[in-house]
Amino acid sequence: MSAGVADRHLRALELPVVEAARLLVGCTIAHGDASGVIVETEAYHEREPACHAHIGLTARTRTLFAAPGIAYVYRSYGIHALLNVVVEPEGVGAAVLIRALEPLTGLPAMGRRRGRPRPTDLCSGPGKLTQALDIGLELNEAPLLTGPIRLGPPPGDRPAEQIVAGVRIGITKAVELPWRFCAAGSRHVSRPWPAGLQAPAG
DNA sequence: CATGGGATTGACT
DNA sequence: GTCAATCCCATGC
């Protein structure tokens, strides 16, 4: 096995968070028998105010300042668990929010947990994919290379994804940063890509 | 100890 | 398009 494509998820863990967010599109996330290909990510870094780590080291943000390669899972709006991949060296607060997956395996179980069988309704949002993969707050700080959640390289039989970048969604601070990355043309993203930023057709 | 704000979603007008 | 559900945690008294 040669280095390169197969190690993409490992290289991402060594890079600055914005580059990591771009590289993680196309990689895989699995929990139990359910898995999917990452088709949408966002980068968050302590130096900008939309990041939880911006306020410094607290009980909640401790995870973000830890060594790379673990999960940061937190509750959003009192309802949903959101999954992040912690990156950058220990002591730096940064993480990549996993915003959408293209379902790969375990679709029946995902559909049961989601209460909606349509493939494009299973993992097309940060709160949806954690419900589909049964990822809860108890998995905060779980290692991502040794399980139970597993971050893996892109499936070997898939062509490299074309990636488009845009501004992050659902935040009120630092709204101008183009730190959202999507697989171009994917029907599994959380929201349709703005028409003006659509990747060149064909 | 009380309060308020969300990195969202699904239902509804 | 609007809006409520619901809870962790940071902050302030």
The pLDDT tens digits of the residues spanning A59-93 come to 999 999 999 999 999 999 999 999 999 999 999 99
Q: How far is the CA of A166 from the C1' of B13 (A)?
A: 31
- Among the listed residues A167, A165, A157, A151, the one whose alpha carbon sits nearest the alpha carbon of residue A198: A165
Q: What is the reported pLDDT for A6?
A: 62
What is the torsional sign of CA A160, A100, A11, A168? positive
Q: What is the reported pLDDT for A197?
A: 53
Q: How far is the CA of A20 from the C1' of C10 (A)?
A: 29
Residue nearest to nucleotide C8 (CA to C1'): A75
Residue A161 contacts strand B, CB under 7 A:
no
The mean-pLDDT minimum among A70-74, A133-137, A159-163 falls in A159-163
The pLDDT tens digits of the residues spanning A33-49 come to 999 999 999 999 999 99
Residue A27 contacts strand B, CB under 7 A:
no
Residue A76 contacts strand B, CB under 7 A:
yes
The pLDDT tens digits of the residues spanning A97-132 come to 999 999 999 999 999 999 999 999 999 999 999 999
Q: How far is the CA of A47 from the C1' of B4 (A)?
A: 24
Q: What is the reported pLDDT for A192?
A: 77
Nucleotides of B under 7 A from a protein CB: 5-10
> E strand or H helix at A114, and its extent?
helix A107-114
- C-beta neighbour count of A78 within 10 angstroms: 5
From the alpha carbon of A169, which nucleotide's C1' atom is closest? B7
- Name the β-bridge partners of A38: A101
- C-beta neighbour count of A149 within 10 angstroms: 21
Question: Is a pLDDT exceeding 80 seen at residue A196?
Answer: no
Question: Is a pLDDT exceeding 60 seen at residue A3?
Answer: no
What is the torsional sign of CA A25, A118, A131, A197? positive
Instruction: Provide the residue type at A56 as one letter.
Output: G
